[in-house]
């Protein structure tokens, strides 16, 4: 899946990400190549146009061309847009709690992989601790019931069927009372598929849908059929209403167009992909991971992360300027505390501030203390944050009350901040001073 598309797009990405400066012409050429690759992958023309327009607009903005690492920023834009076109956030099944019975209605053309996928889904739900029941409502194909029984046996999930019955509503109703008696929490209903969409099929599915009021109505579509999978999804959605799509045969050599067009054309998310014939070959569909894969696997993800780091580094450089000029305020410190939370580690932030490397270790930092500091600063007014020197006794006791700390704690923190400012200034000067730098280089050389 996606091999050819990935190969081409990844080449473009690598070329552009490596450039230290890029021009509008670079952007145009790159997007043109990506456009061709998408069309070749059988992505819907309208979708390709939208993708191109959205990307060009953002990529040519000031922010990219003038940024520190324009190539990487550009890759990030492509990555984000590709993720959005694949559906954005991962969409999980929306089922009721295990104490209430949930129902999943499976739809799809004959041969799309509906029966196999019904069993795969049961297998997945069973692993997650649910108690599913397979309901055999495909009463047209003689072997369908038997196929579901065999699969059910394989995965150890009960199958409800009525031999010789021609009324799918009757099967459903009896399955429902069986489910209630047997503490089943999820019914997965396999239905009749035709080779093409026709009225009798839609009529039957529609009746089943009205009767069962399913929590999920999932269309099973064959990814190998490309554009027609998207058209089928559109029709099923208009006639019955869908909550999601499962694309099967993702393991085969399809060009991937269906996956990239589905969300934009139908508005329905891909929830799972089938990746083989075995009952465990069903994967949750993650748009972001899929985008990374199309853009060239891990390489690009790393680049995107680097682009993020560059942005953080710019922030760090600004902080350093403030430290030197002694305009570093409590507000700045609060921002730092918050970005520590965002980045997950204080060490990674310290490493970005010149002169700070190796000065403070993770062990020197008391995380609980940082929380107290955050609370204290949060209780200050803007004026106080900009200039802590105005904080006298009455302000101190107000801040203590507001932050749930004591006056002594506030006083101690302010003293600490004063000391920290002096130390920061010294260190940032040291890292700038050529003499100190040379001394540091020499000592490294002789080591």
Ligand X SMILES: Nc1nc2c(ncn2[C@@H]2O[C@H](COP(=O)(O)OP(=O)(O)O)[C@@H](O)[C@H]2O)c(=O)[nH]1
Residue 310: CB atoms within 10 A of its CB come to 15
Looking at beta carbons, which pairs linking 373-377 to residues 24 or more positions away fall under 8 Å?
373/333, 373/337, 373/413, 374/334, 374/337, 374/338, 375/403, 375/404, 375/405, 376/403, 376/405, 376/409, 376/410, 376/413, 377/330, 377/331, 377/333, 377/334, 377/337
Identify which of residues 137 and 323 has a Cβ nearer to ligand X in the complex: 137
Given Mg ion, ligand X, none, residue 374, with its beta carbon under 5 to 8 Å by kind, binds none
Q: Point out which span in 61-69, 111-119, 228-236, 418-426 binds ligand X (CB under 6 A).
A: 111-119
Which one among 26, 112, 168, 191 touches ligand X, defined by CB under 6 A? Answer: 112
- Report residue 331 CA to chain centroid gap: 32
Binding mask 69-108 for ligand X (x = CB under 6 A): ---------------------------------------x
> Which residues neighbour 264 within 8 Å (Cβ) at sequence distance 6 or greater?
44, 46, 47, 50, 85
249 contacts ligand X (rule: CB under 6 A):
yes
How much of the chain is in helix, strand and coil states, percent to nearest 5?
Answer: 60, 10, 30
CB of 101 to Mg ion, least distance (A): 23
Contact between 248 and ligand X per CB under 6 A: yes
- Maximum pairwise Cα distance, the chain: 93
Residue 112 contact among ligand X, Mg ion, none, beta carbon within 5 to 8 Å by kind = ligand X
Q: Is 276 in the site for ligand X (CB under 6 A)?
A: yes
The whole-angstrom separation of Cα 33 and Cα 434 is 47
Residue 280 in contact with ligand X, rule: CB under 6 A: no
Residue 228 in the binding site for ligand X (CB under 6 A): no
* Binding string, residues 113-142; x marks residues near ligand X by CB under 6 A: xxxx--------------------------
Nearer to Mg ion, 106 or 356 (CB): 106
111 lies in the site for ligand X, by CB under 6 A: yes
Using rule CB under 6 A, residue 161 touches ligand X: no
Residue (of 79, 95, 27) closest to 294 by Cα position: 79
Q: Looking at beta carbons, which residue is closest to ligand X?
A: 274
Of the chain, the end-to-end C-alpha distance in Å amounts to 52
Is residue 5 within 8 Å of 41, Cβ to Cβ?
Answer: yes
Residue 224 or 319: the one with the smaller Cβ distance to ligand X is: 224
Sequential DSSP letters for 173-188: HHHHHHHHHTT--EEE
The one among 4, 15, 80, 110 contacting ligand X by CB under 6 A: 110
Binding ligand X by CB under 6 A: which of 87, 152, 193, 269?
193
Residue among 194 and 395 whose Cβ is closer to ligand X: 194
Is there binding between residue 149 and ligand X (CB under 6 A)?
Answer: no
Tell me: does residue 252 bind ligand X (CB under 6 A): yes
Distance CA 137, CA 181 (A): 20
Task: Note whether 329 binds ligand X by CB under 6 A.
Answer: no
CA distance 136 to 6: 39
Report the residue number, 27 or 242, with the smaller CB distance to ligand X.
242
- Out of ligand X, Mg ion, none, what residue 174 binds, judged by CB under 5 to 8 A for its kind, is none
Of the candidates 82, 79, 83, 89, which has an alpha carbon nearest to the alpha carbon of residue 304?
A: 79
Q: What residues make contact with ligand X under the rule CB under 6 A?
A: 108, 110-116, 193, 248-249, 251-252, 274-277, 281
């Amino acid at each position: 899946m996606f091999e050819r598309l990935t190969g081409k797009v990844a080449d473009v990405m690598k070329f552009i990400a490596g450039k230290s400066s890029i021009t509008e012409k670079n952007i145009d050429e790159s997007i043109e190549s990506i456009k061709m690759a998408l069309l070749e992958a059988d992505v819907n023309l309208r979708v390709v146009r939208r993708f191109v327009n959205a990307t060009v607009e953002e990529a040519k903005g000031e922010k990219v061309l003038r940024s520190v690492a324009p190539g990487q920023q550009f890759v990030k834009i492509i990555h984000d847009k590709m993720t959005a076109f694949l559906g954005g956030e991962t969409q999980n099944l929306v089922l009721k709690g295990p104490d209430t019975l949930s129902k999943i209605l499976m739809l799809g053309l004959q041969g799309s992989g509906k029966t196999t996928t019904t069993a795969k889904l049961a297998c997945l739900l069973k692993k997650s601790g649910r108690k599913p029941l397979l309901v055999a409502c495909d009463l047209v194909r003689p072997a369908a019931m038997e196929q579901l029984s065999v699969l059910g046996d394989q995965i150890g999930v009960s199958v409800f069927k009525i031999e010789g019955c021609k009324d799918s509503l009757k099967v459903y109703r009896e399955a429902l009372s069986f489910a209630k008696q047997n503490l089943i929490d999820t019914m997965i209903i396999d239905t009749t598929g035709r080779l093409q969409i026709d009225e009798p099929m839609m009529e039957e599915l529609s009746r089943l849908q009205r009767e069962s009021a399913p929590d999920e109505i999932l269309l099973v579509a064959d990814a190998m059929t490309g554009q027609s999978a998207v058209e089928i999804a559109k029709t099923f959605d208009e006639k019955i209403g869908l909550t999601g799509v499962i694309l099967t045969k993702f393991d085969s050599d399809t060009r991937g167009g269906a996956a990239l067009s589905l969300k934009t054309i139908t508005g329905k998310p891909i929830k799972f992909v089938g990746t083989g014939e075995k009952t465990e070959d069903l994967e949750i569909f993650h748009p972001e991971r899929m985008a990374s894969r199309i853009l060239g696997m891990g390489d690009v993800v790393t680049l995107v992360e680097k682009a993020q780091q560059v942005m953080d580094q710019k922030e760090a450089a600004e902080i350093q300027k403030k430290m030197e000029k002694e305009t570093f305020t409590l507000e700045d410190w609060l921002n730092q505390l918050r970005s520590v939370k965002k980045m997950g580690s204080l060490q990674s932030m310290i490493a970005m501030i010149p002169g700070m490397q190796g000065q403070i270790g993770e062990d020197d930092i008391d995380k609980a203390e940082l929380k107290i500091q955050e609370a204290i600063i949060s209780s200050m007014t803007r004026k106080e944050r900009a200039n802590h020197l105005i904080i006298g006794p009455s302000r101190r006791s107000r801040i203590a009350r507001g932050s749930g700390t004591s006056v002594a704690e506030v006083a101690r923190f302010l003293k600490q901040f004063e000391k920290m400012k002096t130390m920061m200034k010294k260190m940032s000067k040291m890292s700038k001073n050529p003499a100190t730098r040379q001394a540091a280089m020499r000592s490294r050389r002789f080591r």
